Structure 1
């Protein structure tokens, strides 16, 4: 046994001597270029589309239009922020659209008891659903698709029961602090925009500069290897699904404050929009790689495309879904190609 180990060590040493000047894979120019395209490709497309739209439509780059786009993007962006953490771990959360609608209804109902209740109630309730999702996925090892699909249906059903099948609509009192939080502006931008930016800064710091962020990447990269390194795999999964639920509830509360009511028909398909934005922003669906800033760019790109279609006027709104789907397909194909290219370099 000792002789075999010695021979192995000598073979490794000979290999290292034979390749003293070998260039590390990470320093390859082609690999760096591929990584750059994957991380900032969506930003380049956003700049190009915005520039073309500004030259083609006089009303596109106006202050009112930009402010409206930013505010309408804020709610989806908050949901996409939570989805980013989930997808980086290799999971998926299909419940966020229903949690968004439920959060809006709970916020509007709770507004009669004050702004604090209106904000904390949807965050706590939707966060609790996220905890259940995380526990079932992490501890019971159930498929995220099935667990969050069940949560999506359950949350939507609960929201409908609270509103008598949508017949009752809870209103946010005009002049209240909650209404001002959703409808007020600061420095020309809606308050939800500033809240969203603050959340993204906090999310970027948590993902890039904290031990928790390292665990998120490790779990998504290789769950078994992460466990061997001592990363709390189950706890990390529970946290990211809880975070996704809390942010979906908060987004719903901010939307209710903006609309001054808990609208029950909202949130349909939002989970797909959030996933699209995250993937377009450079996060791999297979996990292990992703960027908070990329998700924000992905949301803005989707909203700009929708706004351009509205500016054209002659196109039906259904084209928004067609274009968004085409963008998503192109991005996934590009990510797969870039991933294989980086493996070969």
Structure 2
């Protein structure tokens, strides 16, 4: 299949590991815990928790598909939340525009250093991680001050609203995800992202704007993380510089579980959605048990990461036979 003169990647069975495991886990959870897991309220809570990660992981998918990595998203999530709460004193418009503008600047700088200066993505985004976290603590007076968003602000009502039984952030995340699907699969930019990740030298020989693509994917990642930070702050009515620690690893795990190659050039956003839901369902099931600490969530999530990857490798081998 081709679109705008470029090939659109087809769905592949070797990337079905996450949906298969997700289906099995959901069925097992419903069988063991019944309504406490499969009830509407709990499923709504899972969807709300997953919506923030989906926003971040959507941007991360573009970055990884292009052959990069973004370690700064956890710190940008915290910075965005702090700036949202800080800007709320001047109204909803400032509370939203300020963090998104700052995150966009981080994305541009990351992209230029990686795409133009050819510095390794790991180094650039690690530096951005440290800078953004330090910036968040500086705005919050070294963590000693917590800015509160007024309850009557439009932003707060949006973050805490429910539409058709689901939190407003869920619908916003799904709208962004749908836009990401269109951008990735039906535009020249999306296809250029695949090409750059698959073989940068070949993409340059084809005349593709490699540096521009790298800048744009990091801007997308940073801005979507900023959106997640705005929604988290709106939902909690505060901005804390300590949130988001480890969220970059969770986002990367969701993308990889969904079948996107860390080396770039192959993957899908639909797989990322399955990866996000799988991680959040597992975390919810651990909470259902009640006797396990948060540390076991990391152990179980890591185990499922290995299991899903092994399933994908098995499916890939069968596909080649």
> Which of the five TM-score ranges fits, normalised by the shorter chain?
over 0.9
- Per-residue deviation, residues 1-29 of structure 1 (Å, max 9, x unmatched): xxxxxxxxxxxxxxxxxxxxxxxxxxxxx
Give the structure 2 partner of residue 219 of structure 1: 196
Give the structure 1 partner of residue 103 of structure 2: 126
Aligned-pair distance for 1:333? Answer: 4.6
Aligned-pair distance for 1:274? Answer: 0.2
Matches within 5 A, 1:73-88: 73-88=50-65
1:43 correspondence with 2:43: no
Give the structure 1 partner of residue 148 of structure 2: 171
Q: 1:336 to 1:135 in 2, by over 3 A?
A: farther
Is the contact made by 2:14 and 2:316 (CA closer than 8 Å) also made in structure 1? Answer: no
Larger RCO (alpha carbons 8 Å, 6+ apart): 2
From 310, 321, 327, give the equivalent of 2:287.
310
Matches within 5 A, 1:255-294: 255-294=232-271
Is the contact made by 1:284 and 1:335 (CA closer than 8 Å) also made in structure 2? Answer: no
Query: What is the SS of the residue equivalent to 1:242?
Result: helix
Give the structure 2 partner of residue 7 of structure 1: none
Aligned-pair distance for 1:312? Answer: 0.9
Is the contact made by 2:21 and 2:308 (CA closer than 8 Å) also made in structure 1? Answer: no
Is the contact made by 1:105 and 1:170 (CA closer than 8 Å) also made in structure 2? Answer: yes
Bigger Rg, structure 1 or 2: 1
1:180 correspondence with 2:161: no
1:145 correspondence with 2:122: yes
Aligned-pair distance for 1:331? Answer: 3.6
- Per-residue deviation, residues 154-192 of structure 1 (Å, max 9, x unmatched): 000010011111110011110211011110000000000
What is the alpha-carbon root mean square deviation over aligned residues? 1.6
Aligned-pair distance for 1:48? Answer: 1.2
Q: 1:334 to 1:143 in 2, by over 3 A?
A: farther
Query: What is the SS of the residue equivalent to 1:60?
Result: helix
- Structure 1 length as normaliser, TM-score? 0.87
Give the structure 1 partner of residue 69 of structure 2: 92
**Partner Cα separation in structure 1 for residue 108 and residue 310 of structure 2:** 33
**Partner Cα separation in structure 1 for residue 39 and residue 241 of structure 2:** 31
Q: 1:68 to 1:218 in 2, by over 3 A?
A: same
**Partner Cα separation in structure 1 for residue 128 and residue 38 of structure 2:** 40
From 42, 46, 63, give the equivalent of 1:69.
46
Q: 1:96 to 1:253 in 2, by over 3 A?
A: same
Give the structure 2 partner of residue 3 of structure 1: none
Give the structure 2 partner of residue 53 of structure 1: 29
Q: 1:309 to 1:36 in 2, by over 3 A?
A: same
5+ residue gaps, structure 1: 1-31
Query: What is the SS of the residue equivalent to 1:274?
Result: helix
- Structure 2 length as normaliser, TM-score? 0.93
**Partner Cα separation in structure 2 for residue 338 and residue 63 of structure 1:** 33
